[in-house]
C-alpha cells in the first residue's frame, strides 16, 4: 500500500470510507495519520532540536557556574539570579530597556503608519518614491549606524552644523556624548533603519481596503479624520498587532546599532538588557550570569506575550459578540 493511499484525505488520497456513526478506533486513526507524521518527523525533530536545545542549554547554564574553555559546569542553584536581582544596576537596566523598546516601537509604528498613508496615494511616480523610501531598510545596519554616528557628531556632525548655520546654537547638543540625549539619538537612528518595513506591512494591507468603504463614507459626509478613524484604523488593527510584536522582538534583540553608535555608553546610558547579556558573556566571560540574564528576559517576554494573547482573544470575543 502506498503512503498516499494510506493517508486518506490528508495527503491527497481519496477520503476513506470510514463508518459514519462510529468513532474510529485508536488503531484506525493511527493507521490513517502515521504515514503523515512519519513524513514530517525529520523536519519536526530538526526544528525542535534547533529551538529547544539552545533554550535548555541556556536554562542549564543559568543555574551553573560555567568554566571556560571546557564549559565545565558547577551547580550554583539560583545564585546567578540572586546576584542579578540584588545588583543595584539591574533596575536602571530594566528602565533603559523599557525606554528603548517603547521608544523604537512607538516611533517605528508611528512613522511607518504615516509613511504608508503618504505613499498609499495614487499619483504618478509613487512607485519610485516608495522604492526610495525603502532604502534605509536595505542599507546594512553597520553602515547605517556609522552614518548616524557621523550625523550626530557634536562638533563636526551634519545635524549640529546645520542647526548652527540656522542660528540654533542652543539646539546643537552633545547628542551621543551625554546620557540625556544618547538614548534618543540611537532611537532615532534605529527608527530610521526599520520604519520602511513597518510601512511596507501597513501599505500592503491598506491597498487591500475596498475603496467602496471610503466612497460610502464620503457620501455619508465623513471627513478625512473620520474615514481614518472608522475605516482605515480598524482595517489595520491586525497588521498593526503583527508589527507591534515584530518590533518588540526587534527592540529586545537589537545590538549592532547600539554597539556601533555608543557601545552602551556614555556611562551605560544606552546599555540595554541584550547588550548586558553580550557583555556579561564576552567581556566578563560569565556565561552563567549571561544565561541567567537571558532566562529572565525570556520569562519577561513570555509573560508579555501571554498577556497579549489573552487580550487578543478577549478582543476577538468582544468583536464576535458585537457582530
Partner 1 sequence: MDDPFRHDRRQVLGGMLAAGLAAAAPGSLAAQTKPRGTVTIWVGSWWAPQVPITQKLWEADYPDVKLAFEPLPINGYLDKFTTAALGGTPPDVIDLDSTWVSTVAAKGLLQKLDDVAAKLDVSDISQAVWLAGRFKDAQYAIPARGGPEVYYYNKTVFDRAGVPYPTAGWTHDDLLQIAQKLTIKGEQYGIGVPADASDPSNVLSLFCPILWHFGGDFLTKDNKAPAINTPASVKAITYWSDFYVKYGVAPEGTPNFSTTRDLMPLFEANKLGLISSSSNTFDALLQKPNVKWGAVLSPDKINRAGGWTMGVPVGAKNPDAAKLFLAWLCRPEIQAQVMNRFPASLKARKLPPWNASKWDIFVEAEPFARSVPAVAGWFEMQTALITNLQKVLVKQLSPQQAADAAAAEIKKIIAENA
Residues that bind partner 1 (CB under 8 A): 67-70, 153-156, 174-179, 182, 259-260, 262-269, 278-279, 281-285, 287
Instruction: Note whether 305 and 97 are within 8 A (CB).
Output: no
Q: Say whether the peptide bond before residue 69 is cis (omega within 30 degrees of 0).
A: yes
Nearest to 251 by CA among 105, 110, 134, 139: 105
Nearest CB to partner 1, comparing residues 171 and 285: 285
Nearest CB to partner 1, comparing residues 57 and 226: 57
Helical packing angle, 141-151 and 158-165, nearest 10° = 30
Phi, psi of 300 (to 5 degrees): -60, -45
Shortest Å, Cβ 179 to partner 1: 5
Nearest CB to partner 1, comparing residues 198 and 287: 287
Shortest Å, Cβ 246 to partner 1: 26
Burial of 202 (0-12, 13-18, 19+ CB in 10 A): buried
Shortest Å, Cβ 136 to partner 1: 22
Shortest Å, Cβ 319 to partner 1: 47
Shortest Å, Cβ 27 to partner 1: 47
Nearest CB to partner 1, comparing residues 214 and 278: 278
- For 27, 61, 299, 302, the CA distances from 50, given in Å and listed in that order, are 32, 17, 19, 19
Nearest to 148 by CA among 278, 68, 56, 258: 258
Shortest Å, Cβ 150 to partner 1: 9
Nearest CB to partner 1, comparing residues 230 and 285: 285
- CA–CA gap between residue 212 and residue 120 (Å, rounded): 16
Nearest CB to partner 1, comparing residues 25 and 70: 70
Amino acid at each position: 500500500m502506498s503512503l498516499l493511499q494510506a493517508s486518506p484525505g490528508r495527503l491527497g488520497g481519496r477520503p476513506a470510507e470510514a463508518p459514519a456513526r462510529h468513532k474510529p478506533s485508536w488503531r484506525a486513526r493511527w493507521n490513517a495519520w502515521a504515514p503523515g507524521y512519519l513524513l514530517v518527523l525529520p523536519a519536526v525533530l530538526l526544528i525542535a532540536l534547533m529551538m529547544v536545545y539552545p533554550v535548555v542549554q541556556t536554562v542549564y547554564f543559568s543555574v551553573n557556574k560555567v568554566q571556560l574553555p571546557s564549559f565545565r559546569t558547577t551547580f550554583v542553584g539560583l545564585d546567578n539570579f540572586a546576584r542579578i536581582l540584588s545588583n543595584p544596576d539591574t533596575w536602571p537596566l530594566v528602565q533603559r530597556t523599557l525606554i528603548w523598546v517603547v521608544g523604537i516601537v512607538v516611533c517605528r509604528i508611528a512613522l511607518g503608519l504615516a509613511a504608508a498613508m503618504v505613499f498609499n496615494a495614487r499619483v504618478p511616480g509613487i512607485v519610485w518614491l516608495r522604492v526610495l523610501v525603502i532604502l534605509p531598510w536595505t542599507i546594512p545596519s553597520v553602515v547605517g549606524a556609522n552614518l548616524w554616528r557621523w550625523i550626530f557628531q557634536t562638533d563636526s556632525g551634519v545635524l549640529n552644523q546645520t542647526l548652527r548655520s540656522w542660528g540654533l546654537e542652543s539646539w546643537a547638543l552633545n547628542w551621543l556624548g551625554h546620557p540625556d540625549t544618547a538614548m534618543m539619538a540611537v532611537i532615532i537612528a534605529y527608527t530610521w533603519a526599520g520604519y520602511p518595513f513597518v510601512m511596507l506591512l501597513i501599505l500592503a494591507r491598506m491597498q487591500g481596503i475596498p475603496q467602496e468603504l471610503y466612497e460610502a463614507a464620503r457620501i455619508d459626509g465623513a471627513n478625512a479624520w473620520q474615514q481614518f478613524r472608522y475605516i482605515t484604523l480598524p482595517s489595520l488593527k491586525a497588521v498593526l498587532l503583527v508589527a507591534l510584536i515584530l518590533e518588540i522582538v526587534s527592540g529586545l534583540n537589537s545590538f549592532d546599532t547600539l554597539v556601533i553608535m555608543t557601545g552602551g555608553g556614555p556611562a551605560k546610558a544606552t546599555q540595554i538588557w541584550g547588550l548586558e547579556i553580550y557583555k556579561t558573556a564576552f567581556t566578563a566571560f560569565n556565561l552563567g550570569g549571561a544565561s541567567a540574564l537571558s532566562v529572565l528576559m525570556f520569562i519577561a517576554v513570555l509573560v508579555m506575550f501571554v498577556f497579549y494573547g489573552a487580550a487578543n482573544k478577549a478582543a476577538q470575543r468582544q468583536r464576535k459578540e458585537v457582530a
